[in-house]
Amino acid sequence: MKFLKKISNSTYPLIMKIAKLTRSGNSIHENKNQKDAPENFYSLTGVLNNGEEISFEKFKGKNVLIVNLASQCGYTPQYAELEKLHQQKKDIIILGFPSNNFGGQEPASDAEIAEFCKLNYGVTFPLFKKNDVTGKNKQLVYTWLTDKNKNGWNDLEPKWNFYKYIVDANGNLSKIFPSSVSPQEIF
């Protein structure tokens, strides 16, 4: 794993620079019409990687950044950026959702993912149980994020690991950022 981290950390700046220069994958989607979510975000629940179920009601009144994660991806160094944001901006809740939907880049178990994140990036933000973020078996929160009948405007699923969704303090999906946008550029 240390070898993978070293490769990932050394190629990440190049990946981000190329994305900026070519504007490849930099499409940011916004709730421009300020549509309210027909289905309440705060009614959702999720299962943390330790098996504990939590209600999203506890995030009411806060901006929430939801990110699908993978430990063997070129964007994996964003774990460090997400943790930095988590430490610096206490008014933003970061929720990490590991998945193996893209390129098989998260083959690890929940326990292995938690250990990897803690050892390599010092992650302290909540990590949820590894599960799908695309397709018919996706997690409830990703069903809400990708169904305009639930969130008010968006039907797009994540296209790769480290897609970022912002739910505002009122529980409305406000923006979607692709993998190539650094978490540090969002807030």
Angle between helices 110-121 and 78-88 (to 10 degrees): 70
Largest CA distance in the chain: 46
- Catalytic option among 19, 37, 66, 73: 73
Does residue 73 carry a catalytic annotation? yes
Spatial contact of 30 and 175, defined as CB atoms under 8 Å apart: yes
- Tell me how many degrees the CA angle 174-152-92 measures, rounded to the nearest 5: 25
Give the whole-angstrom CA distance, residue 79 versus residue 76. Answer: 6
- Parallel, antiparallel or unpaired: strands 63-69 and 92-98: parallel
Catalytic residue set: 73
